[in-house]
Amino acid sequence: MSPKPASEFRRGVKRLRMGHHLSFFRKHEEYYVYHDLWGYLLAMDRQPLELLRAFGPQGRAIAEVQAEFSGRLRPEQIESYLATFRSHGCLVPLRHDERSEAFARGHPVRAPWTVAWLSGRQAGEAAEQQARQGVLAYRDRALGRVVLQRLGEFEARLFELCDGERTLAELAELLAPHAGGPEAARHAVARFVFSLTHSYRQVLKLLDRPRYTYLSLLPAYVRSSMPFARLEEAELQELPAPAPSRDVVDLSAYHREGIADAAAQFDLEETTLSHMFREPHPALGGRSYGEAFAQALLERNLVPRQGEVVEVGGGVGFFALRLLETLERLAPAHYAGLRYTTLDLSAVLQESQRLLTSALGAKVRHVLADASRGLPLRDASAALVLSNEVIADLETVRLRRRELEAGAPPAGAPPSIRAAHALLGRYGIGWQDAPEVFWLNLGALRLVEEIARVLRPGGAAVLTEFGALDRYPIESTHLEHGEFSIHFGHLIQLARAVGLQVEHTDIIEFLGMRTQVPVLATTRSHFLCLRALLQRRGVSLQKLAYSREQFEALCRERIDPGEIEGLRFLPAGERVLGLRPREFQVLILRRPA
């Protein structure tokens, strides 16, 4: 949390208490406070959180708390944090009525990724005049599942009017004729809105002024869908010592043991471009991802006339199936001379790969292997190595500049940290532009080392993943497990150091993607809610990059897409479901003949 200037602190109040509508969350070393009436979200470390909690629900004198923390925080820090907490309703005067203030001043607005069906929404009449009914879909974090909440006429009218332009008090006055009078309307509006601003649901947020005054950009807390783990009151009574910083993120155990269902893994848990485009799509010129990938390999003369093609991490198996079917159709001589091997750490995923490619017979073999620990291949034995959207899952380590400048990791450092130091020194990979503490894609770098070992003269490798040429790895926050973006500049430095020729492009250029084709855009929770809403109407939504026409054909006569709140179609180059294709890079490595 960044303190606000001390000048914003409201003077004249001697005692404060902690707000009665706060929820607390944690992710690794950071804590989060969520205001269950307004939807405010504050991120902070341990000390500001302890400062807030020191006031307690009964309240304390400000001077008393300032004295208690004087040895831990500077006076200007304390005053700044208190100002921030007051301006966000986390600290309030003792007799302050929080619900009444939120009712009088709060302008309810639907969160950007809200999903709902509202009947007759396209008819053109104002919501307060036309009869409405509907269904609201949201992920209830207390229940751990998607909830479909039926909206009666009053609730449907109210929900559609939550556009950030009126206060709750104004909405109650407007809808009083439909609720049996002003008092009943105030009670119904407060009950409905405050149930949906709660951190369990995060469907509505409150603005402190009309939406139009924000122009086009709403505050960050309105756009947030905070997914972190809740801290219960018992855990907050005695905050545990700060968790030791994670210096090594290794997903080997997760992939070996944590995947129970191959289809569910990629339909519900993870999102990949290749899975979303596994069927022919207009953004790929009527081709599937695997088909477009095969054609890109042929155009760049990367497909061997004979030899072993190795795929590192095979997913469900659609990528290999579509790619090989295309090679058999377009380049039968090449197809006849190659042998295809998939390497995967997950036995569950490998069984799916085996089933999908079973019709190809002995052309494909499947090997259980951990690519982070090396490739089970002989030196100079592979003609082509493919790694499609996999290397973000490989081991990542956190390094510190001062230790690199000292020339050695600290005593007792984990083996992976020592290996990272050695690798950087061995290949002269630059880190001088790194922040004081940074992540390194150790597993991806080791894979490039292994590729250099196993490629035969004239062989090649193609690696795709999200990342950038000069950006240090950033952890994704939308998954149940940690994945990190790739610093492709580091991979290129290592590849050249081991004698490989390098070509870099992005997935849009590599596949020839038609970036202007509109496709469905979602987040992970939004997709699950939309899926549940459509399933109630007998429509089966799959994890596919639906174009507008494809989505309308899917719905057919069962539901009118125009009545669905939260549908968003964006150009394919900008967003596909929850991914941004422009962030996906392609690295082509060749062993000189």
Q: What is the pLDDT, as a whole number, of residue 263?
A: 79
Q: Taking Cα atoms as reference points, which of 184, 152, 200 lies closest to residue 34?
A: 200
Residue 122's pLDDT is 57
pLDDT, averaged across the chain: 92
Bigger pLDDT: 437 or 268? 437
Single-letter amino acid code for the residue at 565: E
Residues 6+ apart with CB under 8 A from 130: 120, 123
Q: Which secondary-structure segment (H or E) carries 519?
A: strand 518-520
Total Cβ atoms within 10 A of residue 4: 18
- DSSP-derived secondary structure for 301-320: T-S-SSEEEEEE--TTSHHH
Query: Residue 41: phi, psi to the nearest 5?
Result: -135, 120
Mean pLDDT of 91-105: 96
How many angstroms separate the Cα of 212 from the Cα of each of 105, 266, 275?
15, 39, 39
390-447 pLDDT tens trace: 999 999 999 999 999 999 898 889 999 999 999 999 999 999 999 999 999 999 999 9
Q: Angle 488-497/442-454 helices, nearest 10 degrees?
A: 30
**DSSP three-state, residue 586:** strand
Contact in structure between 386 and 340 (CB atoms under 8 Å) = no
**CA distance linking residue 518 with residue 561, whole number of Å:** 15
Residue positions counted in the chain? 593
Q: Is 12 left (phi over 0), alpha (psi -120 to 50) or beta?
A: left
For range 165-191, the mean pLDDT: 96
- 128-136, long-range: CB < 8 A, 24+ apart: 128/157, 128/161, 128/174, 128/175, 128/178, 132/156, 132/157, 132/160, 134/159, 135/533, 135/536, 136/196, 136/203
For the chain, give the percent of residues with pLDDT over 70. Answer: 94
Q: What is the average pLDDT across 280-288?
A: 97
On whether the CB atoms of residues 533 and 135 are closer than 8 A, the answer is yes
* Cβ pair 547, 281 in contact under 8 A: yes
Least confident of 116-125, 204-213, 237-246, 362-371: 237-246
> How many Cβ atoms are within 10 Å of 465's Cβ, its own excluded?
26
Tens of pLDDT along 6-65?
433 445 689 999 999 999 998 877 899 999 999 999 999 989 999 999 999 999 999 999
- Please calculate the CA angle 540-543-544 and round it to the nearest 5 degrees: 100
CA separation for the pair 261, 352 (Å, rounded): 9
- The Cα diameter of the chain in Å comes to 85
Q: Are 357 and 317 in contact (CB under 8 A)?
A: yes
Above 80 in pLDDT, residue 244? no
pLDDT value of position 4? 47
In whole angstroms, give the CA distance from residue 65 to residue 77. Answer: 13
For residue 528, give both structure tokens. 């699950």
| pLDDT (average), residues 457-481 | 89
Q: How far apart are CA 554 and CA 520, in angstroms?
A: 13
pLDDT of residue 9: 42
Q: How far is CA 292 from CA 226, 325, 422, 545, in A?
A: 36, 11, 39, 15
pLDDT at 502 > cutoff 70:
yes
Inter-residue contact 310 to 316 (CB < 8 Å): no
pLDDT-derived band of residue 119, with 50, 70 and 90 as boundaries?
confident
Rounded distance, CA 60 to CA 48, Å?
16
Per-residue pLDDT tens digits for 312-333: 999 999 999 999 999 999 999 9
| Angle, helix 153-161 to helix 182-197, in steps of 10 degrees | 70
- Assign 3-class secondary structure to 254-294: HHHHCCCCHHHHHHHHCCCHHHHCCCCEHHHCCECHHHHHH
The Cα–Cα gap between 344 and 163 comes to 48
Give pLDDT, residue 371. 86
Q: Which amino acid is at 167?
A: T
The residue with tokens 């991120």 is: 43
Residue 478 has pLDDT above 70, yes or no: no
Q: For tokens 């105030």, name the residue.
A: 186
Rounded to whole angstroms, how far apart are CA atoms 388 and 293?
10
CB 348 within 8 A of CB 260: yes
Residues 6+ positions from 307 with CB-CB distance below 8 Å: 337, 338, 339, 382, 383, 384, 456, 459
Look-up of token digits 């001077």: 63
**Residue where the block lists tokens 């709403």:** 218
Structural domains of the chain ordered from first start: 6-89 (no CATH), 100-226 (no CATH), 291-396+441-513+582-590 (3.40.50.150)
**Do 308 and 277 form a contact (C-beta atoms < 8 A)?**
no
Rounded to 5 degrees, what are φ and ψ at 551? -70, -45
Contact criterion met (CB below 8 Å) for 460 and 588: yes
Q: pLDDT per residue over 345-394, tens digit each? A: 999 999 999 999 999 999 999 999 988 889 999 999 999 999 999 999 99
Which residues, in sequence order, are bridge partners of residue 91? 18
